[in-house]
Amino acid sequence: MTTRQQNSFQDSFEQLGKIKVAISGCLLGQEVRFNGGHKESRLCSRELSEYFDYEPVCPEVGIGLGVPRQTIRLVGEPSDPQALGSTHAEHNVTQALKDYADLQADRLGDICGYIFMQKSPSCGVERVKLYRANGAPHDDGAMGIYAKRFIERHPLVPVEEAGRLNDAVLRENFITRVFAYASWRALCAEGLSKHALVKFHARYKYQLMATAPADYQRLGRLLATSHQQPLDEVAAQYISGMMLALKKTATRKSHCNVLQHISGYLKKVLSSDERQEMQELIEQYRTGLVPLVVPLTLLKHHFRLHPHSYIAQQVYLQPHPQRLGLRNSL
C-alpha cells in the first residue's frame, strides 16, 4: 500500500465530513435529567465529537416533562410496557413518548447512528428495569418506550447505549457501523448503480468476513443473481443484510482468518523471515499477547512497499479514522 493509497482512506473520511448522529442530550452534558443533572460521556462529547455532528434529543423534556421532574418507570410485560410516574402511577406518558419518537424519526431521517442513554425508561435499548403491576421487579428487562419506537422506524441505523461503548469491542463495532452506513448513504447520494453496488461489496469483503463470513457469501450471491430485479429492491435487500452482518462482533479467530487471507497476497514478495514474522504476530494476536493494531501495522508496512490495488481498497484495513485508536484495545 503506497502512501497515496493509504491516504485514500483518510480522504474518504474527509469527504464524508462530520457524520450526523443522534444522541441522548444528557450524554453531552445537557442538564435534562429528572434531577436536573446530566450524564456526560467524555467519549461522546470529546473524542467522537471531532467526527460526529450531534443531534441531541431528550424525549422526556421533549414531551413537556419539567426539569427536575417525577421519575417514570416501566410497568407491565416486556413486550408492551407502560411508562408510568413512579409516585403517581396514573401519570402515563407511554403514548406521548411513542408520538415523540415518530416526530423525531421523521426529523432525523438522515442520521447515520444513535447513541442512547442506558437504563432509561425512555431511551434504554436493552435490559431497562421493568416492574410488575404490584410493584415487584419483573424478571426480564425491556426497551425504553422512545428508543423502541425510534428503532422500529429506522431499523438500519446503527444504535448503541453509551454504557456499552466502554467495552472496546462494542465501541469499535458501533463506530465501524456508523462509518459504513455513512459511506452507504454517500454512495446512494452520488447515484447508485449495480456496478457501484458490486464495487461497494468488494470493498467490504474482509470487513464482512471478520464479522459474518456466511453473510458475506450470501450478499455476494444476492448481487450475482439479481440481474432481473429492480435496482432499488436489490439495494434495499443488500444494505439490510449488510448492516445486520456488521452488527455481529468479530472475534480473535475471525480477525486472524482475515489477516491470514490478506497476508496471502504478500507470499510471493516477502522473504521467508518476513513471512515468519508476519505469522508470529498473527499468532501473538490470536493468543492475546498483542492487540489487533500490531499485525495490522506490519501488514500495512509491507503493502506500502509492495502495493496491491485490490487490498488497497479494502475497508477492513481502516474502517474508521486511525486517530481514534479503536483497534489499539482489541
The Cβ of residue 136 has, within 10 Å, a number of other Cβ atoms equal to 8
Rounded to the nearest 10 degrees, how much is the dihedral formed by the CA atoms of 293, 297, 299, 303? 140
pTM, full prediction: 0.95
For 73-95, how does the pLDDT look when each residue is reduced to its tens digit (9 = 90+)? 999 999 999 999 999 989 999 99
In 76-205, at which residue ranges do the beta strands (DSSP E only) sit? 82-85, 114-116, 130-131, 159-161
Note whether 296 and 284 are within 8 A (CB): no
- Helix pair angle (194-203, 213-224), 10° resolution: 160
Identify the pLDDT of residue 227.
87
Give which of 248, 253, 226, 317 is closest to 13, Cα–Cα.
317
The Cβ of residue 173 has, within 10 Å, a number of other Cβ atoms equal to 24
Q: Which helix (H) or strand (E) holds 73?
A: strand 72-75
Confidence of residue 155 (pLDDT cuts 50, 70, 90): very high
What's the CA gap between 154 and 144, in Å, rounded? 15
Identify the pLDDT of residue 201.
98
- Report CA-CA distances (Å) from 158 to 52, 84, 167, 293: 13, 28, 16, 24
Note whether 189 and 298 are within 8 A (CB): no
For 221-239, how does the pLDDT look when each residue is reduced to its tens digit (9 = 90+)? 999 999 899 999 999 999 9
Q: Which three cell numbers stand for residue 19?
A: 457524520
Identify the pLDDT of residue 313.
96
